[in-house]
Amino acid sequence: MTAGTKTLTLLRHAKSGWDDPALRDYDRALNARGKRAAALIGGYLRSGGAVFDHIIASPALRVVETLAQVETGYGRTLAPEWDRRIYLASAVTLLDIVHEFSEDSARVLLVGHNPGLEDLAMLLVPNSDEPARVALEAKYPTATIAELAFEGSWADLAAGGARLVRFVRPRDLDPALGPEED
């Protein structure tokens, strides 16, 4: 399966707390709003029939907890591969990881952090005035998914080589989760 349509779904971890100044950034947990938003995104993925051949994620606590909440809304067990390189990775590092994906996987979910995820999406999706691309450029809030599609192999994915199929923020599904500090 070297050619054909591939789908890369990027999920930014949900809103985490800064309550304990003694905690390392890596160990920050989700706050109540983040848990709600992640479960909502999971329900959205389920209702849209999203299926993933492979899930790869940062092992930071807020990502682990995000996926647990997404699982609740999604209604299925997710079995991510934890990859420490994703923690606070740059777009270039994330693209290197994408290039390593098995060609047997056509639909991959990558869960991580900003600014790397946003920068990766902006790198892969050509600039345009399409509403989803404009929203992506404005801000990539917590618990937001960007679904990118492209033709070809993971190893060949390059700048400008994908199209943005959807960009869904928690506030798009529940206005109560709208701007505060995303």
Residue 173 neighbours by CB under 8 Å, 6+ apart: 40, 41, 44
What is the predicted pLDDT for the residue at 96? Answer: 98
For residue 62, name the pLDDT band (cuts at 50, 70, 90). Answer: very high
Q: Where are the domains of the chain?
A: 5-18+25-176
pLDDT higher at 180 or 34: 34
Determine phi and psi for 2, rounding to 5 degrees.
Answer: -85, -30
* 112 bridge partner residues: 12
Digit-coded pLDDT (tens) for 128-139: 999 999 999 999
What average pLDDT does range 92-96 have in this prediction? 98
d(CA 89, CA 85): 6
Residue 155, token pair as written in the block: 């190893």
What is this structure's pTM? 0.95
Residue-level length of the chain: 182
Average pLDDT score, the chain: 95
Structural domain 5-18+25-176, CATH architecture: 3-Layer(aba) Sandwich (3.40)
What is the predicted pLDDT for the residue at 1? Answer: 42
Digit-coded pLDDT (tens) for 125-164: 999 999 999 999 999 999 999 999 999 999 999 999 999 9
Q: Among candidates 50, 157, 47, which has minimal Cα distance to 107?
A: 50
The answer to whether residues 5 and 150 touch, using CB atoms and an 8 Å cutoff, is yes
